[in-house]
């Protein structure tokens, strides 16, 4: 029998782990996971951890979900993958049709990771304007504290200093506008009024710079990497109006918030708007396989449709439209349909919010916030090592929490029950009490 220790030592030798100063693992042990079961992760020594972060926001219906497992197994014995340039296959066609039905965006371009979806949307937007002869429209706007991925193009519109500053000399300039995250509102200012004020500052920028701007990219309703910053949907309405007025694309990066996370299938629905580009990934395969997609409109698609090869979108990834990943995504959409997930999540979210009341009332909890299946709070703490301590304290109680700075959040797979939510609540209360 191998134990946790064997695997963590071998991993430290051979695996360079993401988003990690590896020296940190001299004191903080890696956690080798042997298997997954619903909302739980189990290590090689048999310890169980509630996956309260959905394995970096990707898992929707639990680990080793029988329906998704079956779908992938069937596809595996039929066709695992085929080049998508010049060829097509059943899962990619069906998935594109069903995503078009759900979003009203009828053209699907596939990538593998979220960051590649961001790259695709930025390049398509720029190329669209170029195909129209508007070659000056090369600029991008994003929100303060935005996160859109970490490849160079995506990092150019990402505003997280820790990820960005080191690579700044490699990045294209982009412009950041006020974030509507309501934690930044003035005392006494309503969330809606603050969102309107932010929209006004976007209007001021666009009025001057629209001729040189290709697109505005936003994370609709929730800025994930900003520590689950949440905002009023009126901002998206205003952004849509302004983008229309000034001939600027609106890119909705729903890589984290798509697929029911905010309480509707897609977050932008809550503003009653349609983006020009919709980026999806993470939950799209239920957290099984890397797949991303950019959905766009007929108008955009037609601007590339031409006898001239270079007016086409000459972009590709080797695993574009991978059949196994698309099959997993179709199984995810089947679960949404057959189990009426959006509706049942609505009931469950209200119940879970009620269970969280003791957190909300705790004197060390600030800005308690909730959208759909995401709950977050900022912890009043002076400790610079809060995030590390909190992670370790929670793991000791059997809960995987991964705070961002002082922001602690609960973003579980949709299969959690009341008992599991109560475990999150008691763990969080003990963390708050220790501050």
Ligand X SMILES: *Cc1c(COP(=O)(O)O)cnc(C)c1O
Nearer to ligand X, 228 or 431 (CB): 228
Does 231 interact with ligand X (rule: CB under 6 A)? Answer: no
Nearer to ligand X, 131 or 322 (CB): 322
* Residue 371: CB minimum distance to ligand X, A: 14
* Residue 57: CB minimum distance to ligand X, A: 6
Alpha-helical segments (H) within 104-190: 114-131, 152-156, 161-164
* Residue 358: CB minimum distance to ligand X, A: 29
Measure the CA angle with vertex 35, ends 148 and 391; round to 5°.
55
* Residue 28: CB minimum distance to ligand X, A: 22
Size of site (CB under 6 A) for ligand X: 14
CA distance 271 to 218: 13
Judge contact between 102 and 318, C-beta under 8 A.
no
Nearer to ligand X, 156 or 381 (CB): 156
Site for ligand X in 108-147 (CB under 6 A): 113-115, 118, 147
Judge contact between 389 and 381, C-beta under 8 A.
no
Using the contact rule CB under 6 A, the part of the chain among 90-98, 195-203, 253-261, 316-324 near ligand X is 253-261
Measure the CA angle with vertex 16, ends 13 and 20; round to 5°.
120
Strands (E), 159-253: 175-177, 213-218, 222-223, 229-230, 249-253
Instruction: State phi, psi for 254 to the nearest 5 degrees.
Output: -105, 30
CA distance 175 to 202: 11
Nearest residue to ligand X by CB is: 114
Site for ligand X in 324-363 (CB under 6 A): none
Q: How many whole angstroms from its chain centre is CA 104?
A: 21
Does 149 interact with ligand X (rule: CB under 6 A)? Answer: yes
List the one residue from 256, 265, 330, 408 that touches ligand X (CB under 6 A): 256
Site for ligand X in 66-95 (CB under 6 A): none
Nearer to ligand X, 115 or 216 (CB): 115
Does 61 interact with ligand X (rule: CB under 6 A)? Answer: no
Pairing label, strands 399-400, 365-371:
unpaired
List the one residue from 4, 281, 320, 381 that touches ligand X (CB under 6 A): 281
Site for ligand X in 202-221 (CB under 6 A): 219
Nearer to ligand X, 102 or 256 (CB): 256
Nearer to ligand X, 118 or 213 (CB): 118
* Residue 256: CB minimum distance to ligand X, A: 3
* Residue 115: CB minimum distance to ligand X, A: 3
Tally of CA atoms within 13 A in the half-sphere of 67 that contains its CB: 15
Alpha-helical segments (H) within 28-140: 54-57, 66-76, 90-103, 114-131
Nearer to ligand X, 328 or 432 (CB): 328
Q: How many whole angstroms from its chain centre is CA 376?
A: 15
* Residue 277: CB minimum distance to ligand X, A: 13
Judge contact between 426 and 358, C-beta under 8 A.
no
CA distance 382 to 351: 32
Q: How many whole angstroms from its chain centre is CA 53?
A: 12
Give contact residues for ligand X (rule: CB under 6 A).
Answer: 113-115, 118, 147-149, 219, 224, 253, 255-256, 281-282
């Amino acid at each position: 029998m191998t134990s946790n220790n064997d695997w963590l030592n071998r991993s430290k030798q051979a695996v360079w782990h993401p988003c990690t100063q590896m020296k940190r693992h001299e004191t903080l042990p890696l956690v080798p996971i042997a298997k997954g079961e619903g909302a739980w992760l189990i290590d090689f020594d048999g310890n169980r951890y509630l996956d309260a972060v959905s394995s970096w926001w990707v898992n929707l219906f639990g680990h080793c979900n029988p329906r998704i497992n079956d779908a992938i197994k069937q596809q595996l014995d039929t066709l695992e993958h085929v080049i998508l340039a010049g060829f097509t296959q059943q899962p990619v066609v069906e998935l594109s049709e069903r995503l078009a039905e759900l979003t009203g965006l009828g053209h699907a371009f596939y990538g593998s990771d979220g960051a590649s979806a961001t790259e695709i949307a930025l390049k398509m937007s720029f190329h669209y304007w170029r195909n129209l002869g508007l070659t000056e429209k090369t600029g991008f706007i994003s929100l303060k504290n935005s996160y859109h991925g970490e490849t160079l193009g995506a990092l150019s519109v990402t505003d997280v200093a820790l990820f960005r500053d080191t690579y700044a000399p490699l990045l294209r300039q982009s412009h950041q506008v006020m974030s509507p995250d309501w934690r930044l509102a003035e005392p006494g200012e309503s969330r809606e009024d603050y969102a309107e004020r932010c929209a006004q500052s976007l209007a001021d920028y666009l009025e001057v710079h629209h001729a040189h701007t290709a697109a505005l990219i936003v994370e609709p309703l929730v800025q994930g990497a900003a520590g689950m910053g949440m905002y009023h949907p009126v901002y998206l309405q205003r952004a849509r109006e302004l983008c229309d007025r000034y001939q600027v694309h609106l890119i909705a990066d729903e890589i984290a918030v798509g697929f029911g996370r905010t309480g509707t299938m897609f977050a932008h629905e809550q503003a009653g708007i349609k983006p020009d580009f919709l980026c999806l990934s993470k939950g799209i395969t239920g957290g099984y396989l890397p797949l991303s997609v950019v959905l766009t409109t007929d108008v955009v698609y037609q601007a590339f449709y031409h006898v001239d090869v270079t007016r086409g979108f000459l972009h590709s990834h080797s695993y574009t439209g991978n059949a196994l990943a698309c099959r997993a995504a179709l199984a995810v959409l089947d679960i949404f349909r057959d189990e009426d997930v959006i509706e049942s999540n609505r009931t469950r979210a209200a119940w879970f919010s009620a269970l969280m009341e003791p957190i909300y009332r705790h004197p060390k909890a600030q800005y308690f916030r909730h959208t759909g299946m995401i709950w977050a709070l900022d912890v009043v703490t002076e400790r610079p090592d809060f995030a590390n301590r909190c992670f370790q304290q929670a793991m000791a109680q059997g809960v995987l929490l991964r705070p961002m700075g002082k922001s602690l959040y609960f973003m579980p797979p949709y299969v959690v029950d009341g008992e599991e939510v109560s475990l999150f609540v008691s763990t969080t209360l003990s963390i708050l009490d220790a501050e």
